[in-house]
Amino acid sequence: MLLKELSAKIEAALNQQVEMEAASSQYYLAMASWSEVQGYNGVAQFLYRHSDEERVHMLKLLKFINERGGHGIVPALKQPSLKFKDLHNIFDQVYTHELKVSKEINHLVDLSLHEKDYATHNFMQWYVTEQIEEERMARHILDKLKIIGEDKGGLYSFDRDLAIFNTVDGR
pLDDT digits (tens, 9 = 90+) for 25-59: 999 999 999 999 999 999 999 999 999 999 999 99
Residue at 21 is within a domain: yes
Q: Is 74 exposed, middle or buried (0-12, 13-18, 19+ CB in 10 A)?
A: exposed
Output the domain CATH number for residue 73: 1.20.1260.10
| Single-letter residue type at 160 | R
Residue at 2 is within a domain: no
pLDDT at residue 108, rounded to an integer: 97
pLDDT at residue 161, rounded to an integer: 87
Residue at 123 is within a domain: yes
Domain with 128, as residue range(s), is 8-166
108, 17 Cβ separation under 8 angstroms: yes
| Single-letter residue type at 15 | N
Res. 113: pLDDT tops 60: yes
Residue at 75 is within a domain: yes
The mean-pLDDT minimum among 55-59, 100-104, 125-129, 159-163 falls in: 159-163
Residue at 33 is within a domain: yes
70, 9 Cβ separation under 8 angstroms: no
Residue at 106 is within a domain: yes
98 annotated to bind ligand: yes
Q: What percent of the chain has pLDDT over 70?
A: 94
User: Which phi and psi angles does 104 have, rounded to 5°?
Assistant: -70, -40
Average pLDDT, the chain: 92
Q: How many domains does the chain have?
A: 1
pLDDT at residue 82, rounded to an integer: 86
Residue at 19 is within a domain: yes
Threshold 0.85, pTM exceeds: yes
SS (H, E, C) 95-149: HHHHHHHHHHHHHHHHHHHHCCCHHHHHHHHHHHHHHHHHHHHHHHHHHHHHHHC
pLDDT digits (tens, 9 = 90+) for 62-84: 999 999 999 999 999 998 888 89
Residue at 171 is within a domain: no
104 annotated to bind ligand: no
54 annotated to bind ligand: yes
